[in-house]
Amino acid sequence: MIQINQNMKIEVSLENNDQGLSNVRIEISSERFPAMSLSPEQARSLATELIQVVHRAEVRQKLQKLEQSEVKQVVKFRLV
């Protein structure tokens, strides 16, 4: 379970669909969006997109930290 905030949590589990095949169930405890049931292919696609977006966010964050670090070094150099 992933607790997003006081009003929302996400649970991921496996369930069998009408044909007896496994589906990934994503249950969101929110009145507006209670659950979705995805085929393994759909779940993999969603997971891949999530991982790609997280990776881009992490790279962006690291680049921003590097830029801030470089600015601090330039400021220190000018002060010396």
pLDDT, tens digit, 9 for 90 and up, residues 55-66: 888 998 888 888
pLDDT, tens digit, 9 for 90 and up, residues 21-34: 888 788 888 767 66
With 70 as the cut, is the pLDDT of residue 77 above it?
Answer: no
Question: Could you tell me the two tokens for 55?
Answer: 């990776």
pLDDT at 53: 85
Question: Could you tell me the two tokens for 53?
Answer: 């977006």
With 80 as the cut, is the pLDDT of residue 7 above it?
Answer: no
- Give the pLDDT mean for 1-17: 79
Burial class (CB in 10 A: 0-12, 13-18, 19+), 70: exposed
- Looking up tokens 């929302």, which residue turns up? 8
Plot region of 20 (φ>0 → left; ψ -120 to 50 → alpha; else → beta): left
Question: pTM higher than 0.85 for the full model?
Answer: no
